[in-house]
Amino acid sequence: MSTPSSVHHVAVGDTRLAVHTAGSGVPLLLLHGFPLDHGMWVAQEPLADHLRLVAPDQRGFGASGGPGPASIEELADDAAALLAALHCGPAVVCGLSMGGYVAQHLAVRHPDRVAALVLTDTKLEADTPEARAARADLAAKAGRLGQAIVADAMVPRLLATSAEARARAGRAAIEAALRAAILRQPIATIQAALAALAARPDMSAALRSVRVPTLLVVGAEDAITPPACMEAALEVLPHARLLVVPHAGHMTPLEAPAVFNRAVLEFLAEARVHPG
């Protein structure tokens, strides 16, 4: 992450999380999506000029210890324990997709840990029966054929596909980095996470009691959690603000980092969480 940055290994529950930190001030907890690790936040490094970035590899992923997640709730409890271990006050909790599910549970289970939410390219609803079946199928294939089958299934759906998006500088490098990140995650973690994702509950009712300032961000071309998911979230969280980012897919912070980073800083200044 940004300079100066450091990596710590922090004992959390029955495992040790690798966590990258940079900057100072209000903590910004960055929770990665599936099946990635903290590296997906590389384009948020400039935010370390304003905030204290805390970017863990969630259990089982990246350089963190296993086992993989038993549930999304467990990942939220890990995140709360990590913030406590790092002596962080209430944090701005930013999660993408699976990280967004974790952020929602963190806000409900550990409200004292959350000063504001940034939910990006995620949703509140549980899986449909078809989605659960597809996850079980992918977990079985991953067991037989390895990580490459997961990368083949996911990478083409992660990024925007419009001509404008395809023509963007750095597109091939982002695609290669995403593939490499998927290939380095342990199969057992991928399988555990797929089961945890399939079992996660609908959060709409629980989130109605969460009143912290909330920014919802989604790529206009997100094929996994399309803008309609965030529009539905806005009905549950009427105080939230929604930003739909043109020519971005499921990885908005990577695909449109300048827009994303500016939106986070403006949101925090307006919500008076950070002076800007």
Active-site positions? 97, 222, 250
Q: With respect to ligand MLT, which residue has the nearer C-beta, 125 or 266?
A: 125
**Do the beta carbons of residue 142 and residue 149 sit within 8 Å?**
yes
- Please return the burial class of 168, using the count of CB atoms within 10 Å of its CB with bins 0-12, 13-18 and 19+: middle
String of contacts with ligand MLT for each residue 102-131, x by CB under 6 A: ------------------------------
* Region 212-241 residues binding ligand MLT, contact defined as CB under 6 A: 224
Partners of 95 in the β-ladder: 31, 119
98 binds ligand MLT (CB under 6 A): yes
Q: With respect to ligand MLT, which residue has the nearer C-beta, 97 or 252?
A: 97
Quick one: which of 186, 134, 265 has its CA closest to 15? 186
Buried/exposed 137-149: b ≥16 CB within 10 Å, e otherwise = ebbeebeeeebeb
d(CA 38, CA 131): 25
Q: With respect to ligand MLT, which residue has the nearer C-beta, 34 or 41?
A: 34
CB of 180 to ligand MLT, least distance (A): 16
Q: What is the dihedral of CA 150, 229, 124, 272, to 10 degrees?
A: 110
Q: With respect to ligand MLT, which residue has the nearer C-beta, 34 or 268?
A: 34
d(CA 175, CA 170): 9
User: What single-letter amino acid sits at 170?
Assistant: G
Q: With respect to ligand MLT, which residue has the nearer C-beta, 50 or 200?
A: 200
Q: With respect to ligand MLT, which residue has the nearer C-beta, 219 or 257?
A: 219
d(CA 226, CA 205): 21
d(CA 141, CA 259): 37
34 binds ligand MLT (CB under 6 A): yes
CB of 260 to ligand MLT, least distance (A): 15
How many residues bind ligand MLT, per CB under 6 A?
6
Question: Judged by CB under 6 A, which of 97, 120, 191, 261 binds ligand MLT?
Answer: 97
CB of 147 to ligand MLT, least distance (A): 15
CB of 236 to ligand MLT, least distance (A): 18
3-state secondary structure of 276: coil
d(CA 243, CA 48): 22
CB of 64 to ligand MLT, least distance (A): 16
CB of 136 to ligand MLT, least distance (A): 13
* Region 40-69 residues binding ligand MLT, contact defined as CB under 6 A: none
Residue located via tokens 């994702």: 197
String of contacts with ligand MLT for each residue 187-206, x by CB under 6 A: ----------x---------
**Do the beta carbons of residue 233 and residue 123 sit within 8 Å?**
yes
d(CA 228, CA 231): 5
Where along the sequence are the contacts to ligand MLT (CB under 6 A)?
33-34, 97-98, 197, 224
